[in-house]
Structure 1
């Protein structure tokens, strides 16, 4: 075998760009980053003590010559940086070949550069120009650190250079200004030579490490091949006479059949292979094929047959050719065989994996498609019906986002078990992927029967789950189509069931929807709307309207709520209730929401300083970690004080992204931004939301306002309870949708803090809002 050190692939030096981490990944060379990171593993304590020790030495050197406060301050910064760097590296996994190492590589570079910036400052702490003796003493300490770094981290030459070069340049400049340019040149040359040493030493190190890895891989490969040969070299020769009876039994063949050679001699081959089935004549089809081929004296190759050895089922692979004498007379068969039971089992497992879901064990999309095809064919022949139910879990994403995918996987397994337990004869359930399931029903009696099953599935799936001591709740949306009336092909019926599923989800989830022909038009309308929505921002089709919010006691204007409007040349004026859910589903809500935020803040700066602006934020926006920075940017860009911005969220935010949403809202509160809980009491109200997040305002839905004005005891009690709760928590209340004087008087009597509705003003364009604050023309003329 070619020597590892003379192999040109391994003996050549690693290109400097690749070694420095400046080039792209080279598949021929391989990913060397983890090889470079490996020497740093376990060296954190060494680097910490080195940094701390050198910092103390440098400080002691500087103390007699500069202010102790300055030296002590530098020491505190150096110690803090050393501890921070140590903790940062203690959490990294260095040298793991399963990871790319890119982020760790960059962290090494950043910390080296930060350390260089720290160590360039001591040269100048005694002023400009610094004394030569001071620079030389600090240079000696820095040189020792460079040497130590070159020894410890030579495998990452760029990190070494990011420390050595700035420190050497600083030392050289200090010496030159101090009147010792020759010594400054020496410092620069020393830094250059040390960088060159690190590059060359790093090349040598990586080359030998790659050689070791390659040698280890080759050794493992050879060992694997040898072991596989020893374990699978169970081939044996077998031979029959012209009556298909075994003759010349080899010891290995006898051992494979589990019987003495003398017992097998003269036994028909088929009897030896069939075992107990020989007496009954109930042979597998493949054994019949073998008998027919031997009867016709045909050659065969790699024929897999089941055999029974001492009552155990095995699988053999047989190949043979007929034997003829010189005159062409048939003498029998001679062939070779091997035990392929393990391979056959693996093939069966692979076949099962291709047809069943690994996580849940349910049939996958391929199996369900085949089963639906059979159900449709039977329904068309028998003039009966079949059904396809599409199931999508509600609120499952929140589980994955807050508790992690392992918990989500366990939840899916429990959902699958419940679904499987509901299946009766003629029903097949399976997983399509993600949190989508499906049920195929053969011979369904009617559409009502399919809907009744769907309702039972929703009730069963909606029961609480316990996973890792977490009590979890999910729901299900179901759409179904009946075949062949809703689709005579698998593709058509599946597509129509999917359209029905979209309809059920549009209704808010936990409902069943049947396919109707009008869904095609709705799907096309949705497709066109989404296509237009994707370019609406660029075409400047959005506009913000503002609805006044007044103080309930005296009707004083205290702010506006920003409401988005969309006017499209093709679709006309599109209601927010139609395009906002579509924007959330198509992941367009974040850029649209950012546009609303920035424009509303900019417009609010044109109003009197006592007025605030409220904007609505969807749950999708609050799942974006960058949302807080977008809010800060909008406030900074517009100049709007944080206390004049109010962000409105609904309770669904906490259901879809439990912990993450609460943390982000806390960040906004810390900025001084006001928070409002919208539609409180109409959905999944929980006092836990008010305990976890300190809202500034609770908004009362219009449905309660209308009910209270009509004398509804329940609505009045709810509003009173919300007002009392808000008062006790130091929050205000805003009643929405007040349109009549009776409603306004009722809300004042019930103690609401603020009122919003048509009674005080409809949503208006930005220009109309500004007109409210301009003095009347006659007043201006009179003043003139």
Structure 2
């Protein structure tokens, strides 16, 4: 094809004609000068022209434009317009493309339509703004389009950057709060109509502030980037991750309501984020807590779901951090209760409500007590006994832990001074206490007041102390060792362990966490091998090992065979009072008998609460006596044959299908069809719940699950039973 301008070029004479261009205005019929002007315009790359025939194929494109496309002009001519211009796609995948093919087929005019140019290579993008107008001959026949184009690539890139800044976090590249709010709202709106579920995970980092304070804010920024990378590695394409600001993150997981699966994901997130970080040659260790809420069960609208996930996160942090927690309606009451406990704890010491019990650490070769661990108990005048798992985390959130810890240290030293001289006492030390610069003086004063030899005091320290300034941590270790006390690493292997810490820190003892003991006797469980590895490591470093939480004889045999030096757990004794200890010692009873069961079985949580029991289309009231992952004990029904299929209504939409395996009078032992899963703390829950969509279909309004019982029986909600009841209900008291 001859190289010509947009209009057919006329022959030009140089010299006189060219000079005339500068003297005479261009007239409407001066085609020669108009063509030259358009040629100059094309050459300056300010814009280009294009034309198609009646079949939509290019018959003209400015030569300079073809060069930008990266193709010879002869190759471009003949392409259809839709082959050259790929319509713009909106960032929202639910929105359709701009309708260039429709505009062309309808022979509509269009102006400033953004379009991505189809290039010969994918390593760059080229964006044009195109305008076009259909052309007709004198008889009204369509003869094609004539149009113009201009380069808007730089403008598009600026717009894209601005849009990205508005939707994504500039530090981590994750979605920001604004984008996550919009995505969650849009997702829940669409899923409500489609009756689909969506999980929301809320995370914040534990001890992130310490990294900022000790290593500086640039190190904190680098840490957040690495956290984002780890989150993306676990979540992948299964959900969207956002950073809401500071050290808060959020994950949207569509189409997941299986709490077992969500618990596994949360556990992996906690484990991955808790692994050490290398930042500019320094080592940092943090943790995370996770709160989980699921739509539509815990919220229908975005605001409600976020609030539920926030409450679950707060509960996870209040439970000791490094945990996940599912939302339940009880959490609202729990937040109020934690505030009351915090207030009451301040008066507990003065009013002598706190006391110490002692659990023995036994030599498995002789069954003699070698040491005792001090465990705190709180007998509240109104609430009764409050578990340390409840009040210690609350104390750690404030300065109360220093007063509580001081009391425990002084009382333990005072009590141990009355024991036989070769028996030592172990006292747990909070990471908050350990970070207090005055802590060594507190230890020294407790020893001086009691007269206890420093060698008989062991301070049990969790791995969380290593997240602080390593130099300050090492100085604290040295100051404590100068006092002559022993140091034990508690709960080894559950959080922030590092071989480098063990080689540097002057520990005398390693305590194997009960999570490794639990299940170690089961087939296809790696815990036994882990116990062997820990024992071997401790021996190589000259340290004593203690196996915690040993409850059954088969567990005792296993940890003894694997070489544990000391055993602690219910297999020998629970924690006992000082007075009982003194009586034993006065009678020379230093040996403890094995009192645990022969084999470990799934832990059963002792309870006393009323639940619903469903058989066929009847609902009965019964009492839940205990609960484990695989079964339960109920009481309150007579004449229930072995093998009967029942459904336990555990409340809040939790229905557990079970079969009666044992029956005696009004008590039944049940085996679940599907095991329960952990709720993230010490509780159990069903994998699935009654869906609010099913409740709505049965006649209830569509809303998140309300507190209480609402099983679906038969057809419509509230429909009357069609058969006669087969069992008799009896009253059950807690003393039974």
TM-score (norm 2): 0.47
Higher radius of gyration, 1 or 2: 1
As a proportion of its length, which structure holds more helix?
1
Of structures 1 and 2, the one with the larger relative CO (CA 8 A, separation 6+) is: 2
